[in-house]
Structure 1
Amino acid sequence: MSEPIHRFSGARRRVLALAASLGLVCGTLALPAHAEGRIRIAEQFGVVYLLLNVAQDQKLIEKHGKQKGVDIQVEWTKLSGGASTNDALLSGSIDIAGAGVGPLLTLWDRTHGKQNVKGVASLGNFPYYLVSTNPKVKTIADFTDKDRIALPAVTVSVQARILQMAAAKQWGDKEFARLDKLTQALPHPDAAAALIAGKTEINAHFGNPPFQDQELAQNPNAHVVLNSYDVLGGPGSATVLYATEKFRSENPKTYGAFIAALTEAAQFITSNPDAAVDAYLRVNKTNTDRKLLLGIITNPQVQFKIAPQNTFAFAQFLHRIGAIKNQPKSWRDYFFDDPATAQGS
C-alpha cells in the first residue's frame, strides 16, 4: 500500500508545483506587484502651494499620466503644520507631503536607512515675514515674555526653524531656542485673523503669503520684524514636497507625471500670473483680494521653480544644533536625484 501512495504523492507534488507556477504567472499578469495610478497629496495653507493649486485646477497630473499611459487618480488633502504632515506620510495616509524644509529634514533624519524620505521638489522661493503688532518690537531682540508668536508648528515648522536660526545669529548657537517659549502653534488663517483683529494674546505671526500680506494691509500696527531671506542669506526654498523611497521606486510613471505637472505649473504661473490667481481662488474657494494675490505672485523676490535653492545652510544649522543626527554632505543627500531638480542647492 505504501508504494502507490508514495507514487501518488510525488505526482501530486508535481501537479501542485505546476499549478503554483501557473498561478504565480497568472497572478503576476492580473495583479502587478506595484500597481500605479494613484497619488495622495497633502498641502497646507497659502500661496506658497500655488504650484499644487494650478496642477489641481488644470488637472496637469492626470494629463501627464495619460501621456505616460497611466490613468492617475489624484487625491488632495489639506493639513496644517509639519508635524501632522509628517505623521500622515509615515502612517501611509498620503504619498506626497507638502511642508517646510525643516519638517523634510526632520523626517529625512528619522527615516535614514529605513523609509528613506527625501525631497521631491521645491514649491518655489518666497520671503516669509515675522509680523508683529507690538510697536515696541523692532527686532527679535525686543520680544519679551508678554509676546506670543503664532506659527504652524512649534519647533519643527520652517518658520520655527528660521526663528531659531535668527536667534542663533543674534545670541549664539547655544541660545538658538531662546524664543521657542513665545511660540504657539496655530494654522495660518487663524493666526492672521487673530493678528488683524488684535483681540487675542497673539501679537506676532511668522507666516507666509497671502496671510502676512493681509496682516500688513489690514492692521495699521502690523510691521515686519524679520524677513526669512535675511536669515537664509538670500532667496530660499522654504516650502518643499517630499515622499518615501518606496512610493517613488514603485510608481515611476505616476511619480514622473507628478514632476512633469509641477514643471508645467511653474511655467504656467510665470507666463500667466492672472490665470494663476484665478486658479488659486477657485481651488481654495476664497475671497482673498485679487489685487493682493497678483502682487504676491509678481513680486520680484518670488520665484516659481521646482529645483530647491539655498537649503543646505539650513540643513547644516539643524545638524549643528543637534536637531538632526545625520549630517548631510550636500543638498543631494536629502533630495531625490531627478533631472528636473538637478540645478538645486
Structure 2
Amino acid sequence: MRMKPGHFIRSIGAVAILVASIPAASAEVATVRLARQFGISYLPLTLMQELNMLEKRAKEQGLDVKTEWLRFTGGSGMNEALLAGNLDFASGGVGPFLTIWGKTTTNLKVKGVAALNAMPLWLVSVNPNAKSLKDLGPGDKIALPTAKTSIQAITLQMAAAKMFGEKEASKFDSLTVSMGHPDAQVAMLGGKSEITGHFGSPPFQEQEMKDPRAHKIVDSFDVLGGPHTFNLVWASSKFVTANPKVTAAFIAALEDSLKLIRDEPAKAIEIWIKAENVKLNPAEAAEILKSPQNEWTTRPKRMLSYLDFMNRVGLVSAKASSEAELFFPSDAVTGPGDGAATR
C-alpha cells in the first residue's frame, strides 16, 4: 500500500531508527566509501569529513570504521561507481539520482537517504547579447556538470519546454558542455574559451555575478515554481540492508553536521574555506550560507516535478506518486515537522 503524500515527512532520526532495527546478515563494512562534488552545497559532507563525524557516530554503534572520501565533478560518475560496487554513499543533484533510481527499481533499488539542501541554480552568461533563453544561439556554449542528466541540464530542458513547448525540451542540449564547476567558472570568465555560459551552483554563480559582464538568464526556482531540492545522498538497498549500523551512524552524523551549520555558521564556513581552499572571504561565504533562498534541510522539495518531466520526455520510465517512494521508508511519521535537522 502506498503511503499518502501528505503523511510522508522525511525524518533522518526516524530513518536511523528504521535502519538500526534491520538485522545484519554479516559483519558490516570496515571502510565506508563516500563521495561529494564541488561547491558550498556539499558543506554538510565537508564538515562530516573534516570533523570525523561518521567515525564518531559509528563508535557509538560499536563499530570502528574508516572513511574513504572520493570527489566527482558530476553525478553520472558517482552512479557508475555505485553500480560497480566502488561507492557506498553517493551525493549529487536530483537529475542523476532520479536516473539511477529509475534504472534500479527491479535490482539494486537505489533510493534516497536524505536531502541536503534546497537551493536555486542559475544559468549565468557573459554574452552581452544573450539576455534570455530566446537569445541563445550556435555561438553559445553552456558548461554544466553533466550534459543531459545533471540537475542543471534537466532544469535547462524544463525551461526550454516552458518557453518553447515540450517538443523543444532538448533545444539547447547541443550547446551544453560537461565540465566541473571550478573549471567552468574559469573557462567562462577567462574569455579564452568557447564557454559563454555556466549553469552552476553556489558559490560559483554568486562569484560569477560579481563580474560586470555576467548576467542571469535562468533561475531554477522560477522554472520549478518555487524552492526545490538541489542535492541529496543516495545508496543501494543492498548496502543499507547489510549495514544498518553504518547507515544509522551516517544519518546521525549528517544531523550533527546540519546542526553545526545552523548553530555555528562562522565555524562551519571557516572549516569549509580551509578544507576546500576556496578563494572566498568569510563574509561572502556567510552571505551565501545565510541566504533566505538557501535552506539546509533533509526534507525533499518538488522532486516529483523533476520526475514527472523526466517521465514525459522519456529520460526515466519508472514513476512515483509521492516522494516517499524515492527514499528509504520511515516507520515514524509523527506530524508536520521533520526533525531538528531540517529547520
Where on the TM-score scale, by shorter chain, does this alignment land: which range?
0.7 to 0.9
Aligned pairs for 1:140-151 (under 5 A) are 140-151=133-144
2:32 equivalent among 24, 30, 39: 39
CA root-mean-square deviation: 1.8
Tell whether 2:163 aligns with 1:170: yes
The whole-number CA distance in structure 1 between the counterparts of 2:230 and 2:167 is 23
The whole-number CA distance in structure 2 between the counterparts of 1:136 and 1:85 is 36
Corresponding residue SS for 2:113: strand
2:303 equivalent among 308, 311, 324: 311
Aligned residue number for residue 65 of structure 1:
58
Q: Which shifted more, 261-270 or 183-192? A: 261-270
CA-CA distance at 1:104 after TM superposition: 0.6
2:312 equivalent among 314, 320, 330: 320
Percent of matched pairs sharing the same residue:
39
Q: Which shifted more, 283-292 or 149-158? A: 283-292
Aligned residue number for residue 250 of structure 1:
242
* Contact 2:94/2:232 (<8 A) preserved: yes
Aligned pairs for 1:15-94 (under 5 A) are 33-94=26-87
CA-CA distance at 1:286 after TM superposition: 3.0
1:137 equivalent among 89, 111, 130: 130
Offset from partner CA, 1:61-117 (integer Å, 9 cap, x none): 112111121122111000111211110110111101111111011101111110001
Aligned residue number for residue 14 of structure 2:
none
Aligned residue number for residue 98 of structure 1:
91
The whole-number CA distance in structure 2 between the counterparts of 1:142 and 1:76 is 41
Offset from partner CA, 1:189-243 (integer Å, 9 cap, x none): 00001122122110100000111111112x2110111111111111111211111
**Number of positions where the alignment pairs a residue of Structure 1 with one of Structure 2:** 313
Tell whether 2:233 aligns with 1:241: yes
* Contact 2:311/2:318 (<8 A) preserved: yes
The answer to which structure has the higher helix fraction is: 1
Structure with more contact order per residue of length (Cα contacts < 8 Å, sep ≥ 6): 2
* Contact 2:187/2:193 (<8 A) preserved: yes
Structure 1: stretches of 5+ with no match in the other structure: 1-30
CA-CA distance at 1:34 after TM superposition: 3.7
The whole-number CA distance in structure 1 between the counterparts of 2:330 and 2:232 is 15
Aligned residue number for residue 116 of structure 1:
109
The whole-number CA distance in structure 1 between the counterparts of 2:62 and 2:172 is 51
TM-score (norm 2): 0.87
Corresponding residue SS for 2:209: helix
Offset from partner CA, 1:304-344 (integer Å, 9 cap, x none): 11222221111111111111111112111221124799968
* Contact 2:123/2:217 (<8 A) preserved: yes
The whole-number CA distance in structure 2 between the counterparts of 1:337 and 1:104 is 17
* Contact 1:259/1:340 (<8 A) preserved: no
CA-CA distance at 1:289 after TM superposition: 2.6
* Contact 2:28/2:246 (<8 A) preserved: no
* Contact 2:25/2:242 (<8 A) preserved: no
Equivalent AA in structure 2 for residue 251 of structure 1: N
TM-score (norm 1): 0.87
* Contact 1:150/1:183 (<8 A) preserved: yes
* Contact 1:38/1:254 (<8 A) preserved: no
* Contact 1:54/1:279 (<8 A) preserved: yes
* Contact 2:112/2:326 (<8 A) preserved: yes
* Contact 1:121/1:307 (<8 A) preserved: yes
The whole-number CA distance in structure 2 between the counterparts of 1:141 and 1:119 is 35
Equivalent AA in structure 1 for residue 283 of structure 2: K
The whole-number CA distance in structure 2 between the counterparts of 1:120 and 1:154 is 25
* Contact 2:114/2:298 (<8 A) preserved: yes
* Contact 1:124/1:306 (<8 A) preserved: yes
Corresponding residue SS for 1:61: helix
Equivalent AA in structure 2 for residue 89 of structure 1: L
2:218 equivalent among 202, 220, 226: 226
The whole-number CA distance in structure 2 between the counterparts of 1:288 and 1:178 is 35
Larger Rg: 1
Tell whether 2:196 aligns with 1:203: yes
The whole-number CA distance in structure 2 between the counterparts of 1:339 and 1:300 is 31
1:329 equivalent among 281, 297, 321: 321
The whole-number CA distance in structure 1 between the counterparts of 2:198 and 2:330 is 35
